[in-house]
Each structure stands twice: as structure tokens, then as C-alpha cells.
Amino acid sequence: MSCNTSVTRVQLPPAVDQVPRVPVHLMPCEIEHDGPAQVSQYLTATTKDCKQEKTVSFRGRGLKGQELSCPQGYTGLVLKEINKPGSDQEDRTVKLTSTFDKLTYWNLETPTNSDDTVVMAMDWPELAEAIHGPVED
Amino acid sequence: MDLSSFESNNSVSCRLASQIPDVCRTEDCCLGIDEAGRGPVLGPMVYGICFCPVSKKEELKNSKVADSKTLTEDERENLFEKLDEAKSYVGWALQILSPNTISTSMLQRTKYNLNALSHDTAIGLVQYALDSGVQLTEVFVDTVGPAEKYEEKLSKLFPGIQVTVRPKADSLFPIVSAASICAKVARDRVVKGWSFAEDLGEVDTDYGSGYPNDPKTKAWLLKYLDPVFGYPQFVRFSWSTAQTLMDSKGVTVHWDDDDEDREKAAQRLNKKSMLSYFGASSGSKAQNPTHETHRFFTERRLKNLNTL
């Protein structure tokens, strides 16, 4: 088995907090598209906010969503590949293009709930800290 | 007809109604039901009811409310004015089903088809009239589906009311054509004054009749196709015309409840389908067992990240 020697480099700008914060949506479907989309014109403009719950339609299907914060002490990063390696021997470089500290996740028709996968996933950093962190006294 | 409550949020279903004439609460009444805009790929479908005392049937007939489809838009507007002048004994109510309601119902996980949606809407409007104190004795309904079954269903739901379901009832019973006029006028006005919730700038309103075979409608659908989002909510996504265009010119979107072949879905997601384990060569996972990930992580879809 050959050893993968390629390295992935993350290019960070001098000041991470100068990078634009962007709204991020986690969709309950797979969209075969990687590139710009008119999110604010279609999705944001038609989102209805009712109490804690957001509703919107995507491709004619009803979605229910909620805003979710990144775990405390964490920042979400949006990375973009700036040169794709031709082989797995070459290094990859990804660039930090924007950051987020909260995201909106959407369920297909189902009301959002504390049992939703992405909500529960946010438990991990705290648990990881508890089991892997330094032991004090 | 004040459409402002629908126009303030045209993504949901909305009920509009006239005042209930006093005489309708004391005298035996007949009620007609018809719909407008069932076929178009654009805009709402509107259900209308119109009711008046049985004793006023002749008067209504003399006001020449004919089948709204044989009338021009202007003639329908005029007849609606006439109905409004007769408000001392004629009442009406409408249910506007927004195109977004139609799309999300028909494309729901548990499909809610247009016929079921239509029946439930009609039933809701009759119930509204009853709840408002209208003394209903006769109900006349226009239908596109099988009339007998529908008639039986309505008769069972509303015992004591004589229910008549007929194809083309709008040309047979004046009270049905009155309902048809109300529904059609509302649909025309809504389509004409549609305000796009999407931020699309100036939208070309030359969309024709909204029927899929209208060349103007077709041209509009081609012009306003967004590769990712498809269409504004003005379009019924559940119509095959819209779906075919999105399939051919938009990007593909997969949902977990798609009717996709399981094997194909697994391939796409680069996962093993159950079936592959029954094949001659077993997968690498079987030969090279790695430790199993704890449920805590699989439940949260958390994975170890070695490479980006």
C-alpha cells in the first residue's frame, strides 16, 4: 500500500476576524451543484419566521428550519480549494473564504427538534473536552 | 373583493368571504361550488361557493350569470359587480390555494393529490357556510372527476342536504356559475397582481394564460428558470411541465424519499448497498475489519477527518 504523502495546506489571512461572516444553510437534500447560487434572492427572501420556527420551500417542498450556533469557542470555516492537485502526490491548498458562528439547518417537513442529528452533533466538543482535556487535581 | 389578506402572504392558502346576507340565515338556501385555475402551471387555484335563498333562484337566473368560461374577463368583472349589488340575498366565499400550497401538498412525503386537496377545500367551504348559519338545503357542485362517488361522499358528510354533483354544473345551475364567476375573478386578479416574494427585480408579467401549452407561458418558464432554485413560488413545482424543465436545464437535487433505485442511490453516495454483500467478492470491509464506530458518532453523523 502506498503512503499518501500529499499535504493539505490551509491558507489563513493575517486576521481571521477580518474575513466576512456569511449566512450558512444546511439543506435536507443533495444538490448536485458546487458554485454560486442566488440564496438571498430565493431562499432568504421567502423564508417566514414564526416564533422559533422558520419555514420555506425549496423546489416545491416544504422545509422547517432553525438557527443553530456553533459550539462555544468554535468558529465555522468555509474553505475553498484554490488549486486542485493532479495526483494524490501533489499538495492541496485550500483558502479560508468566509466564517460563520451560526447556521440555519432545514428539515424536510418535520419540525425541528433537539434530537436532530446536527443539533446533537454540537454536543461533541464539550464531551471531547471532558474526556480528552487535561485532568486538573 | 378585498384580496389584501392573501396578497400580504401569497405563499399560503387563504379564505375570503362576503358578508352573510341576513335572509340566508332564516330561509332555505341553495349553494353552488366551482373552481378556477385547476390546469395552469402558474398561479393559485381558487375554490368558490355562492349561496342564496332557494326562493331567489329565478332572480339569480335573470341576472344572466352564465358559465364563466364562456365569458371574457371584462364580462366576468361586470357580473361580479352584479352579484355584489345583490348582496342583500347573495353571499360568497373563496378559498385561494396558493401555488406554493399546491406544490408542497402534492410533493409531500405522504402525497396529497390535487383531487383530495380539491375535495377537502370544497368540504371546508360548505362547512364554513353552515358554521356561519346559512340554512343550506341544496348544494350543487361542478366536478372534473367521477361525479357519483363525490356526490355520495358529500351526501354522507352533510346529511339532510340535497347534494348534486355534475360535470359542467356551471352551465346547468346559475348558483354554480355565480360561484364560478367569483372564483375566476379572484384568480384573474391574483395572477395579474402577483407580487413575487423572491428578490427578482422587475419581473416580466407577460406569462400568458398560465396553461402549460400556451407558448407565452412556455417562454416565461424558460426565461425564469434558476438552475438551483428552479422557480419562484408563483410556479407549481408539482406540474410535469415545470419538473421536466428543471430536470433538463436545472441542477439535479436528491431527497431521501426519492423513488430512486436503492442500488443506484448507494452508488451515488459511494456506499455499499445491502445487495453487494451477497455478491461473490465480499467488500474490503469484511476482509479488513476496522473497529466499529460508536453509536454516539454514527447517530450524529460525525466522522473522523483525515483529509479535507
Identify the band that residue B279 occupies on the pLDDT scale cut at 50, 70 and 90: low
Beta-carbon separation of B255 and A29 below 8 A: yes
DSSP state of A25: E
Of A30, A45, A62, the CB nearest to B254: A30
Handedness of CA B160, B86, B94, B142 (dihedral sign): positive
Residue corresponding to grid cell 409531500: B108
Residue B298: pLDDT band (50, 70, 90) is confident
CB atoms within 10 A of CB B275: 10
pLDDT at position B307, please? Answer: 66
Q: How high is the pLDDT of residue B154?
A: 95
Can you give the pLDDT at residue A10?
Answer: 83
Residue of A nearest to B107 (CA): A61
Q: Compute the distance between CA of residue A30 and CA of residue B250 in angstroms, rounded to an integer.
A: 14
- Residue range B130-162, pLDDT digits in tens: 999 999 999 999 987 889 999 999 999 999 999
Q: What is the mean pLDDT of residues B107-124?
A: 94
End-to-end CA distance of chain B: 59
More confident residue, A93 or B228: B228
Distance CA B255, CA B47 (A): 32
Query: Which chain A residue's Cα is nearest to B98?
Result: A60
Cβ-Cβ contacts under 8 Å for B2 (sequence gap 6 or more): B16
**Residue B32, C-beta contacts closer than 8 angstroms, at least 6 positions apart:** B49, B50, B51, B139, B140, B141, B142, B169, B173, B174, B175, B176, B177, B178, B179, B180
Q: By the 8 A CB rule, do B185 and B92 touch?
A: no
Sheet of B162-166, strands arranged across: B14-17, B91-97, B45-53, B29-36, B136-142, B162-166
Q: pLDDT of B206-220, one tens digit each?
A: 999 899 999 999 999
Distance CA B280, CA B101 (A): 49
**B111: contact with A, CB 8 A cutoff:** no
* 3-state DSSP percent of chain A in helix, strand and coil, to 5: 20, 40, 45
Average pLDDT over residues B85-110: 95
CB atoms within 10 A of CB B213: 11
pLDDT exceeds 90 at position B178: yes
Calpha distance B158→B137 (Å, rounded):
10
Helix (H) or strand (E) holding B15: strand B14-17
Q: Burial, A32: exposed, middle or buried (Cβ in 10 Å; 0-12, 13-18, 19+)?
A: exposed
Helix locations, chain A, DSSP H: 39, 45-46, 117-121, 124-132
What per-residue confidence (pLDDT) applies to B66?
61
> In this model, does residue A4 exceed pLDDT 90?
no
Q: Which residues pair with A31 in a beta bridge?
A: B253
The answer to whether the Cβ–Cβ distance between B229 and A28 falls below 8 Å is: no
Q: Are B34 and B180 in contact (CB under 8 A)?
A: yes
Say if the Cβ atoms of B238 and A121 lie within 8 Å.
no
State the pLDDT confidence band at A32, using cuts at 50, 70 and 90. Answer: very high
Is B198 close to A30, i.e. CB distance below 8 A?
A: no
pLDDT above 80 for B6: yes
Which of B10, B229, B257, B307 is the mutation pick for testing A, counting most A CBs within 10 A?
Answer: B229
Measured CA to CA, the distance from residue A124 to residue A72 in angstroms comes to 11
Instruction: Give ∠ CA B98-B36-B90 in degrees, rounded to 5.
Output: 105
Residue B277 has pLDDT above 60, yes or no: no
pLDDT, residue B274, reads: 58
CA angle B173, B174, B176 (to 5 degrees): 70
Torsion of CA B282, B286, B292, B293, to 10 degrees: -30
- Look over chain B and give the mean of its residue pLDDT values, rounded to a whole number: 88
User: Is some CB atom of chain B closer than 8 A to the CB atom of A26?
Assistant: no
Between B150 and A135, name the one with better pLDDT: B150
pLDDT at A13 over 90: no
The answer, yes or no, to whether residue B167 has pLDDT greater than 60, is yes
User: Does A12 contact B at CB distance below 8 Å?
Assistant: no
Quick one: average pLDDT of B42-53?
Answer: 97
Contact B104 A58 (CB under 8 A): no
**Residue B56 near residue B89, CB atoms below 8 Å:** yes
- The pLDDT value recorded for residue B114 is 93
- The β-bridge relationship of strands A48-50 and A53-58 is antiparallel
Q: Using a CB–CB cutoff of 8 Å, tell me whether B251 touches chain A.
A: yes
Query: What are φ and ψ of residue B163, in 5° steps?
Result: -105, 130
Confidence label for A3 from pLDDT (cuts 50, 70 and 90): low
Residue B284 confidence (pLDDT) = 47
Q: What is the pLDDT of residue A126?
A: 87
Which has the minimum average pLDDT: A70-79, B4-13, B55-64, B112-121? B55-64
| pLDDT above 70: percentage of residues in chain A | 94
- Ligand-binding annotation for B131, yes or no, is no
Min distance B32 CA to chain A CA atoms (Å): 32
Q: Which range among B163-167, B220-224, B293-297 shows the weakest confidence by mean pLDDT?
A: B293-297
Which range, of A35-39, A126-130, B176-180, B236-240, averages the lowest pLDDT? A126-130
Q: Do B300 and A31 touch (CB under 8 A)?
A: no
Instruction: Pick B103 or A137 by higher pLDDT.
Output: B103
Would you state the pLDDT for residue A1?
43
pLDDT for residue B67 is more than 60:
no
The percentage of residues in chain B with a pLDDT greater than 90, rounded to a whole number, is 65
Report chain B residues whose CB lies below 8 A from the CB of A42.
Answer: 198-199, 226, 228-229, 232
State residue B261's pLDDT score: 64
Please list every residue in chain A whose beta carbon sits closer than 8 Å to the beta carbon of residue B236.
60
Chain A interface test: which of B98, B196, B198 (most A C-beta within 10 Å): B198
Whole-number mean pLDDT of chain A?
88
Mean pLDDT throughout A46-67?
94
Chain B nearest C-alpha distance from A4 (Å): 10
**Cβ separation A28–B255 shorter than 8 A:** yes
Return the minimum-mean-pLDDT range out of A33-42, B19-28, B288-297.
B288-297
Does the pLDDT value for residue B290 go beyond 80?
no
Determine if residue B2 is labeled as part of a ligand binding site. Answer: no
The answer to whether ipTM exceeds 0.90 is no
Print burial letters for B85-95: b (CB count within 10 Å at least 16), e (below 16): ebeebbbbbbb
